[in-house]
Every structure is written in C-alpha cells, then in structure tokens.
Structure 1
Amino acid sequence: MNWVNKVVVITGATTGIGKATRHLLTERGATVYNLDVHQLPADDTRGTFIPCDVRQKTDIHRAYQIIIEREQKIDLLFANAGVHLFASMEQTSDEELDNLIAINIKGTFYTIREVLPYMKAQRKGSIVLMGSDQALVGKASSSVYGLTKGAIGQLTKSTAIDCAPFNIRVNCVCPGTIDTPLLHKAVTHFARVNSVPEVDVYTSLDTVQPWGRVGKPEEIAQVVAFLLSDENSFMTGSLVSSDGGYVCQ
C-alpha cells in the first residue's frame, strides 16, 4: 500500500502501541495526527500532536475540525486510547470504574462517532479499535478492564455492519500482554494491592505466554498497519489476536 497522502488519526499515540504505530506509519509516508492528553517529548517529532481528552466529546470534535481544515479528509483511524487496571471487583474503586468506562468505552465510542460523517462523505475509510485478549477470554484480577474490552469487541462487530454500505471497514486488534507504560503501571498497582514483589508479577506474565515472553509494541503496530491498509480489503468486523498464543490455550 502507498501510505503517502493517507491521513491517519491515532488516539493515545504518545506512548506504547499508539506511539509504535505512529512511528511506523510516518516512516511509511503517512500524515499522522496524535490525539492525546500527554504532550510529545521534544525529541519525538513524528506526526502532529493535538491535545485531546477522549472523555470529552468537545475535545474530539475540535481535533477533527482542525484536521479537516488542514487535510480536507481523514482516511484512517486507530482508536487506541485506553487505560488498564489489574484489580478484582472488590479491589476496584468507583472512581477507577468510572474512569475505565469513560476512557475505554465512551472515549472509543465518541472517537468513532465523530469521524464517521467524514468517512461516509468520502465513501471510504478504515477503522481499527484497540481491543485485548480480554475481548475473547477472561483473566483474574481484571474484571473492569475485561468488561470494557468485551464491549469494544461487540462495538467492532455492530459498527462494521452499519458501515459496510459506506465502504468503511471496522476491525479490532486484540493484543495480549505487551511491554508498554500501561502494563508497568498496572503491574505496580497489582503488586501493591496484593503485597507481592513486582519482579514476581513480571515473571508470571512471561511464563503464562506460550511464546514465553510478553509482546512488543512494534509487533502490534505491524498488525494495526495491515488492518488499516488497502491490502486488508475484505476483512471487517474481525477481532484479530496478536498475543503470543495466549487465547489458543
């Protein structure tokens, strides 16, 4: 696929999988916009940063208006922004529950809803949602996070059906455990709540993967790039695992 002249929006692309995808697509020649609450470091100049809190519909609307004024189109969207939490139901505070739902579910919903009028007008587009292996299987100490990712999986399928007449593909990447800042934050939280050493948590994460290790953000970025690309012309409504074999056990 020729990525030159493709306008890509990625939410939450300052760190982690979003960052890896932003770097990959800019290297391929795409014009990439990063919608994030976290500013880019001074030495990272790949793509264009627009401050945006996906919990706020007005932020997303304003960001899209800026992009449309500059580019007159949005070809591709990676709705990546999200937060993670290692915690059982009893260990999850009301504030944590509200925050995960606001970012992972509502933020994704708003991000897609706002872009659809532009893509429908173009009669073409490709959208990838950030899912999880927990859109497919359950995990211990992850009730609320799994709840949000299960919702994303269903949102993928329903939106794909609604968008098919407009030539807009909607797919969902479902990573396993990936070495990102979100993982490190979640491990710290889990270790503190359960009074266990962080190193033991990381060891357990490696050993439960058939591949013997957690994944890298760059590995997921490659999958996202394919799902967004024109090469992926007959896939929509799919939940695509990239998890080192975790969910096939």
Structure 2
Amino acid sequence: MNKVAVVSGGSNGIGKSIVKLLRKKNITVYNLDIQTDECDHYLKCNLANKEEVNECIMQIIRDEHTIDYLVSSAGIHFSGNIEQTTYDDFNRVLQINVGGTFNLLKAVLPYMKKNNAGKIVLLGSDQSKIAKPNSSCYNLSKHAIASLAKTTAIDYAKHNILVNAVCPGTIETPLYHNAIEKYAKKNNIQHIEQLHEEEAKLQPLNRIGQPDEVAELIYFLLSDKNKYITGSLQMIDGGFTAI
C-alpha cells in the first residue's frame, strides 16, 4: 500500500528537498505551505491558523484515508536580542514556529493513533541545543520544538508512533542567504562571498551543509530501517555543536 506523508513548509529550502526525496521514494506527499508549489498535492495553508490546518488534514484523510508520516519543517527566522524584539515579533515567531508545529501534531496524531502507527520528524535547529547571539526569540522557539519532540515521543510510544527532531546547523537555503544578505546590508558589507567563506570556516567540516543532506537523515528516520529511535534530537551541523 502506498504511504502518505504530510510535509509543512515544503515549497523551498529543506522542506522542498524533503518533498522531492519522499516523492522519489514513491511516497504520496502533501505539501502544506503558504507559498505556492507547482507540484501535485499542494495545499495552501497558514500553519499558525488551526482551522486551516485541521481543514487540510481532514481533506487529506478524505482523499487518502491515512497519514503515515509527518514532517513539520515550516518556520521563520528572526534575529535580535530581547530589547530589539517587539511583542509582534515575539508572537509571530512563536505562532509560526511553535504554534504551527503544535497545530499539525494536534491534527495528525489522532489518525496515527487510530492506525497504531506513525512516524514524525520535527525540524529543530542547532539552536535546539545551544544558544547564539541575537537570537532570543528564535532560539526559544527551537528549544520548544525539541521539547515537543521528546514529550510527544513519550506520550505516544504506546501507540507505536515514533517522534524525533532533526536539528540542522548552517544549511545553504533561501533562509540562510536571506540572513546573510540582511547582515551584510545592516553592517554595510560589500563582499557577501567573504561572509559565506567566514561562515564555512566556523564549521568543523569547513563547509556549509546542503538541504539534500538533511532530507536524507529525515528519510532514514521515517523509513522502515528506523524501528527504535524516538524522542531524539538528531544533530546535523557539521560538528558545530560538538565544539
């Protein structure tokens, strides 16, 4: 029987690589994203809106009758310390990064529970484990993702549902390029390539990670080869958090 996956934030970056890989493995993939995707099974969805999330999940159940896998990868980045973070910034980051993940879990878990099977991967970050400067709100959201992965894994282990968080470090995505460009503009830096080189040198492997590498790790956690990994934070950061 064909497996069915739900991926949030699958229109670009790591999420896009996940969708592409899962489809290559003959898995039916539904991409829930606010950004348009030309591929089949795209559902426009604001993950921070629980009604929209519930409607999308119910539509998938009507069409497919099951959801085998969930990958929650939608999220936004925000740079700033507490004084630089407005209440609107705080609410927006938490509503999307944490609220969106919570909404997905809330909507999908009852169906996995009914099937007594399921695998879930939440997208954390190296900041699910460590702190970085000027990242109070984003860091908080990624620590919350780690918490959701671990607590959900414990609560639903008896239903044969495995839940893990994959925690990428510096990965070459549109989000990464956007952050670099904002930093360069803010600090009047003309040579952006120099910033890329400096960022690469911060990694023990001396390079920036690629979205496809993260997708491969996620696929392993969803695959039949994973029978006993749950409640884990899987770092994929070129060794950055090992320093």
**TM-score range, shorter-chain basis?**
over 0.9
1:59-79 superposed Cα distances (whole Å, 9 cap, x missing partner)? 100100110010000000001
8 Å contact 1:22–1:32 — kept in the other structure? yes
Q: Please say if 1:185 is aligned against 2:178.
A: yes
Alpha-carbon offset, residue 143 of structure 1: 1.6
Letter matched to residue 237 of structure 2: D
8 Å contact 1:17–1:221 — kept in the other structure? yes
Q: Please say if 1:234 is aligned against 2:228.
A: yes
Q: Please say if 1:243 is aligned against 2:201.
A: no
Equivalent in the alignment of 1:212: 206
Q: Please say if 1:61 is aligned against 2:54.
A: yes
Alpha-carbon offset, residue 203 of structure 1: 2.7
- The verdict on how the C-alpha distance between 1:106 and 1:62 changes in structure 2, with shifts beyond 3 A counting, is same
Distance 1:142 1:6 in 2: 38
Distance 1:86 1:68 in 2: 38
- The verdict on how the C-alpha distance between 1:203 and 1:89 changes in structure 2, with shifts beyond 3 A counting, is farther
Distance 1:37 1:224 in 2: 22
Count of residue pairs the alignment pairs up: 242
Query: Please, which runs of 5 or more residues in structure 2 have no aligned partner?
Result: none
Equivalent in the alignment of 1:70: 63
Give me the TM-score of the superposition, normalised by structure 1: 0.93
8 Å contact 1:37–1:52 — kept in the other structure? yes
Distance 2:200 2:89 in 1: 26
Distance 1:11 1:79 in 2: 5
Query: Please, which runs of 5 or more residues in structure 1 have no aligned partner?
Result: none
Equivalent in the alignment of 1:166: 159
Alpha-carbon offset, residue 142 of structure 1: 1.6
8 Å contact 1:86–1:189 — kept in the other structure? no
8 Å contact 1:86–1:190 — kept in the other structure? no
Secondary structure of residue in 1 paired with 2:225: coil
8 Å contact 1:86–1:187 — kept in the other structure? no
Letter matched to residue 186 of structure 2: V
Distance 1:95 1:196 in 2: 28
Alpha-carbon offset, residue 205 of structure 1: 1.4
Distance 2:92 2:193 in 1: 27
Secondary structure of residue in 2 paired with 1:127: strand
1:28-85 superposed Cα distances (whole Å, 9 cap, x missing partner)? 10000000000114xxx3x410000001001100100110010000000001110112
What is the aligned counterpart of 1:202 among 196, 199, 203?
Answer: 196
Q: Which stretch shifts more, 197-206 or 213-222?
A: 197-206
Alpha-carbon offset, residue 192 of structure 1: 3.2
Equivalent in the alignment of 2:3: 6
Distance 2:18 2:98 in 1: 21
Distance 2:107 2:4 in 1: 16
- The verdict on how the C-alpha distance between 1:93 and 1:189 changes in structure 2, with shifts beyond 3 A counting, is farther
Distance 1:162 1:28 in 2: 29
Letter matched to residue 3 of structure 2: K
What is the aligned counterpart of 2:79 among 82, 86, 91?
Answer: 86
Q: Which stretch shifts more, 83-92 or 188-197?
A: 188-197
Distance 2:193 2:224 in 1: 42
Q: Please say if 1:225 is aligned against 2:224.
A: no
Alpha-carbon offset, residue 200 of structure 1: 4.0
1:156-205 superposed Cα distances (whole Å, 9 cap, x missing partner)? 11110000010000000000011111112222333333444444432321
What is the aligned counterpart of 1:24 among 11, 15, 21?
Answer: 21
Identity %: 42
